[in-house]
Amino acid sequence: MSTPPAPPQAELLDRPFSFYPPILGVENNEWRLKEATWSEMLVTNTQENLDLAIPRRYFGKVSETDKPVMIVGLKQELEYRMSAVWPVKRAVYSMPAPALKPPPGQKSAPGPNEPKGLGAMMGISGEGTDTRITRLIGMTFLGLISLVLVVWAVIQFTPETKPTFIARDQTYLELNRDDDYFSILRKLGPPEGDHWKPNSGELQYRALFYPQRGYAVILMGTKQEDVHYIGAMGLGPDGKGWAPLHSVDFARGANTMGMLRGLKRF
């Protein structure tokens, strides 16, 4: 039986780090190594009173740089529940089997009282009362189709009713992980709002709001004077949205999209 490699406690000792992908069920993604054994790593959350023992087989590579933050890769997406971490299992749904068709040539002719046409599709018998119901359903169905066609014609041929769409500004695509506050100002101009996330622990988050452009630029770092670009959050048509639009890769391939998804508006 081969001996597993030693855990990277030397790289993580006394240094904050973030998991990628983040652990589901835990809002804050900033951790410190508390203890390491040959089988598991005991980590503690910097903002929540939470200690987790993570089997060492889930640990992947560690980023070469800790700017803006050190990233510890996970080989599998994990979820925190029942006071422990568990691998995330995605539900797989199977398609129902198709209905069996009768062999060709064995279909018998319908009897005199058996339903035909729409009545057969609706499962209604061919008697007089059911025939009138079938006609009523058919007329209602045709009326609905006619109404849909009228609404479509009004929208299609009346210019005033057509919605107007405005293209989204995508200047944020020019930003990268080396951009700091001053380089962002040179590219985008001064923001309409400038917020620091309160009580963010050792990781500092800064949001520069550009509502006219439709997004906010997010910077992060261990010190306020050394924060760099990690992505952009879409503000939506009403300016109240908060969804990731853009992210950046770290030196060894880890991406900031997971951090942005767990970041609440501030």
The verdict on whether omega for the bond into residue 68 sits within 30 degrees of 0, i.e. cis, is: yes
Per-residue pLDDT, 265: 94
Which two tokens mark 139?
Answer: 């007329």
What pLDDT, on the 0 to 100 scale, is given for residue 164?
38
In the prediction, which pLDDT does 254 show?
84
Question: What would the DSSP string read from start to end of 186-233?
Answer: HHH---SEEEEPTT-TTSEEEEEEETTTTEEEEEEESSGGG-EEEEEE
The runs of H, that is alpha helices, within the chain are 9-12, 118-122, 128-157, 181-188, 257-262
Please say whether the beta carbons of 217 and 188 come within 8 A.
yes
Spatial CA neighbour of 222 closest among 43, 14, 25 = 14
pLDDT at 15: 85
Q: Residue 170: phi, psi to the nearest 5? A: -120, 30
From first to last of the 266 residues of the chain, give the pLDDT tens digit: 554 454 566 777 778 999 999 999 899 999 899 888 888 889 999 998 899 999 998 888 888 777 778 899 899 899 998 888 999 887 776 777 776 666 666 555 556 556 566 555 655 555 566 678 888 898 898 999 999 988 888 777 665 444 433 436 889 999 999 999 999 999 999 999 999 998 878 889 999 999 999 999 999 998 989 999 999 999 998 899 999 999 999 777 789 998 899 999 99
Q: Given this model, what pLDDT does residue 106 score?
A: 59
